[in-house]
Chains A and B, each alone.
Chain A
Amino acid sequence: MSSSSKKSKTLDPEKGQHLFYQMLLIRRFEDKSAEQYTKGKIRGFLHLYVGEEAVAVGVIQALTEEDNILSTYREHGHALARGMEPGGIMAEMYGKQEGCSRGRGGSMHLFDASRRFFGGNAIVCSHLPMAVGMALASKKQKKNQITCCFFGEGAAAEGEFHEAMNLAALWEVPVLFVCENNQYAMGTAIQYSHAVLEIEKKGAAYGIESTAVNGMDLMAVMDATDKAVDKIRKTGKPYFLVCNTYRFRSHSMFDAELYRDKKEVEEWKKADPIPAFQDYLLKQKLITKTELEKISARVDKEVQEAIDFAEAGTWEPLEDLTKFVYSEK
């Protein structure tokens, strides 16, 4: 892809290795989370991001610390890519008060106001209007700040998607809509939920510049996002980026995957973004085998430390049950 070759000129070893580290961290964090779920350490719903890592990592690298991020209930990857502590995330999923949302949210509600990470939103599409509102605030406050909002293709069938797109375009606010099209809204394949399969075409109805990109290709996602972010910063207007991707694991841990063929999953796994990016880094001599091993060891260590942190965490006392309903005066 021409965009990838262009990008390779600017990708230095340090950044390349960092992005590889982030993707590997997400992958192994998620695998470990699944394990902890089967052990009963994590309860509730657990939606894993395995297979989609290139999207979170490729998009978030283009943002600054001042930018806002809102995500869905499949948000562990975004939280990690934003630099949130793996320990705080794991402790949250354990329900411990050392968790990033003090254990009140769980897997679907990761928050970190200090990193401008605003969830962890589990009503499909309901965070899109909020994202538009945050971008409206940035505009009113004359801040050079983008609000980046992740959602799935399932959300694009909701009325609020259309309301939010219209409002963002009408008000000309700096929001980056990122649709992670992983082909399935829970168990319903895109052809059964969308009359028009090219989700990016929906942006045109609102006059929003829109692009689709191969979400399994980190370099392509980076390139597309860099351009989108440049555009938003220059124009102050919204942008719609569709990343076509695939989740390798089930929708949630309750899912028996009756709705898709194992062959289809195997086919997509051939496009796994992590080995692909690893090969790329090796070919471009941006990483050595020794460095790869070091990253792998670091990731294993950090994931284990996250587990240890969560295990050592404490339960919030029962007396605190009704805290955080209203602000403390």
Chain B
Amino acid sequence: MEASNTIKITYREALKQSLREALQKDDRVFLMGEDVGRYGGAFAVSKGLLEEFGEERIMDVPLSESGFVGAGIGAAMAGMKPIVEVMTINFGLLPMDQIINNAATLLHMSGGQLNVPVVIRMGCGIGRQLAAQHSHSWEPFYAHVPGLVVLSVGTHEDARGMLAAALESPDPVIIFEYTSMLNMEMEIAKDVPELGISKAKVRREGNDISIITYGTGVHKCMEAAAELARGGIDAEVIDLRVLRPLDEETFLASVAKTHQALVVEDAWCSVGFSAEIISRIMEKAFYELDAPVKRLCGVEVPIPYPLHLEEASVPQVKDIVNSVQKTLKP
């Protein structure tokens, strides 16, 4: 029997393997964050790494998001390669001053003298009944800021391979990981390919409509596309992956092929990331379109606790299917 070239792996395990590999590869890399060591990571992503690498490399930090993210920035300026974990994006407003006013700005303010090669990971997303203060999709806030590289890990492949690429960046990288996907299992290639962090990816090729998304939207759109295929609609699914600097070529080329587009995201609609995608399509591919571009986004409400209301707050597979069907078969 031929050895399989793929492995079945959870999103959590993929993230952990990427961390372990980064720590093995480069002595300058260290992980710091709340409960990353003795507790094993709030979501068990770093479980076992403290025992393996010791407390110099796996640093538990006090609840001082601004303090330790700032320290990560300083350590990066001084020649280290810190991976800073902010337990969840929900606490991500506290270090936002450090991220925007320092990490994203120092290269420019210093006239190109200072690099800040820090990697900041945040667990995020909606879907675990955690209510309004622990259910955030703030990718658009960070994607607004020049100087940052902003990554959204929407697949197991990226969970396994994106960190390595992020650590190669001379500039600060924010990585959004999705806690609702941690237990999901997928088949991925055994050998991690070099993924890069400059291009979006077509996750499913199709000819009828371009569904453009990121984060948890990727698996939802893939599921929707499979269902649509059963009804004879051939959807293309594009995973943006890199929210800044944005690769527009990939989705513009897709729109030029399908002439229809739907943008899907969990984040609140107004001034959201979908607005940016749609603007670019208007500016650069307007005459390719057969119909107005649509978007499915988060409903503009603090996320409620009850499951049925939470589910209604963000686009679900059925909403994506319905939207596409309405567009293509009015």
Structural contact, A133 and B108, CB atoms closer than 8 A: no
Chain A nearest CB from B113 CB (Å) reads 4
- A-side contacts of B75, CB under 8 Å: 133-134, 136-137, 140
Structural contact, A105 and B111, CB atoms closer than 8 A: yes
Whether B98 is near chain A, meaning CB under 8 Å from some CB there, is yes
Structural contact, B97 and A324, CB atoms closer than 8 A: no
Whether A204 is near chain B, meaning CB under 8 Å from some CB there, is no
Task: Return the 4 tightest CB-CB contacts between A and B, nearest first.
Answer: A129-B70, A133-B74, A102-B111, A163-B67
Structural contact, A101 and B110, CB atoms closer than 8 A: yes
Give the nearest-CB partner of B111 in chain A.
A102
Whether B56 is near chain A, meaning CB under 8 Å from some CB there, is yes
* From A101, A138, A160, A166, contact of B109 by CB (8 A): A101
- A-side contacts of B102, CB under 8 Å: 121, 123, 126-127, 130
Give the nearest-CB partner of B114 in chain A.
A113
Structural contact, A160 and B71, CB atoms closer than 8 A: no
Chain B nearest CB from A106 CB (Å) reads 9
- A-side contacts of B113, CB under 8 Å: 101, 111-113
In addition to A133-B72, A327-B115, 20 A-B residue pairs with Cβ atoms within 8 Å of each other are A111-B111, A113-B113, A113-B114, A118-B77, A127-B102, A129-B69, A129-B71, A130-B73, A130-B102, A132-B70, A132-B71, A133-B71, A134-B75, A134-B78, A136-B71, A136-B80, A166-B64, A167-B61, A327-B171, A328-B112
* Separation of A164 and B56 alpha carbons in the complex (Å): 19
Structural contact, A324 and B108, CB atoms closer than 8 A: yes
Would you give the 0/1 interface string for B268-309, flagging 1 where the beta carbon is closer than 8 Å to chain A? Answer: 000000000000000000000000000000000000000000
CB contact under 8 A between A99 and B111, given known A129-B66, A134-B78: yes
Whether B62 is near chain A, meaning CB under 8 Å from some CB there, is yes
Whether A323 is near chain B, meaning CB under 8 Å from some CB there, is yes
* From A101, A166, A324, A325, contact of B67 by CB (8 A): A166
Whether B107 is near chain A, meaning CB under 8 Å from some CB there, is yes
Give the nearest-CB partner of B112 in chain A.
A324
Whether A74 is near chain B, meaning CB under 8 Å from some CB there, is no
CB contact under 8 A between A160 and B66, given known A137-B74, A325-B108: yes
CB contact under 8 A between A129 and B111, given known A137-B75, A160-B67, A167-B67: no
* Separation of A324 and B105 alpha carbons in the complex (Å): 9
Indicate the member of B66, B71, B79, B107 with the most A CB atoms within 10 Å.
Answer: B71
Give the nearest-CB partner of B27 in chain A.
A140
Whether B322 is near chain A, meaning CB under 8 Å from some CB there, is no
Structural contact, A136 and B74, CB atoms closer than 8 A: yes
- A-side contacts of B111, CB under 8 Å: 99-105, 111, 324
Q: Which of B137-185 contact A (CB under 8 A)?
A: 146-147, 149, 170-171
Chain B nearest CB from A58 CB (Å) reads 25
Indicate the member of A99, A126, A135, A324 with the most B CB atoms within 10 Å.
Answer: A324
Would you give the 0/1 interface string for A106-150, flagging 1 where the beta carbon is closer than 8 Å to chain B? Answer: 000101110000111101001111111111111011000001000
Structural contact, A129 and B147, CB atoms closer than 8 A: no
* Separation of A141 and B27 alpha carbons in the complex (Å): 10
CB contact under 8 A between A129 and B73, given known A137-B79, A141-B79, A167-B64: yes
Chain B nearest CB from A260 CB (Å) reads 29
Structural contact, B71 and A167, CB atoms closer than 8 A: yes
Chain A nearest CB from B84 CB (Å) reads 10
Would you give the 0/1 interface string for A226-239, flagging 1 where the beta carbon is closer than 8 Å to chain B? Answer: 00000000000000
| A to B CB contacts below 8 Å, 22 in the list | A68-B78, A109-B110, A113-B113, A119-B109, A126-B70, A129-B71, A129-B74, A129-B98, A132-B74, A133-B77, A134-B75, A140-B56, A140-B75, A159-B66, A163-B66, A163-B67, A166-B67, A167-B62, A167-B68, A326-B107, A326-B149, A327-B170
CB contact under 8 A between A323 and B112, given known A132-B74, A137-B74, A137-B75: yes
- A-side contacts of B73, CB under 8 Å: 129-130, 133
* From B72, B114, B147, contact of A111 by CB (8 A): B114
- B-side contacts of A137, CB under 8 Å: 74-75, 77-80
Whether B11 is near chain A, meaning CB under 8 Å from some CB there, is no
* Separation of A105 and B171 alpha carbons in the complex (Å): 19
CB contact under 8 A between A140 and B108, given known A133-B73, A164-B67: no
CB contact under 8 A between A325 and B107, given known A130-B71, A137-B75: yes
Chain B nearest CB from A322 CB (Å) reads 8
Structural contact, A120 and B109, CB atoms closer than 8 A: yes
- B-side contacts of A129, CB under 8 Å: 66-71, 73-74, 98
* Separation of A141 and B75 alpha carbons in the complex (Å): 10
Chain B nearest CB from A89 CB (Å) reads 13
Whether A170 is near chain B, meaning CB under 8 Å from some CB there, is yes
* Separation of A135 and B75 alpha carbons in the complex (Å): 7
* Separation of A138 and B78 alpha carbons in the complex (Å): 8
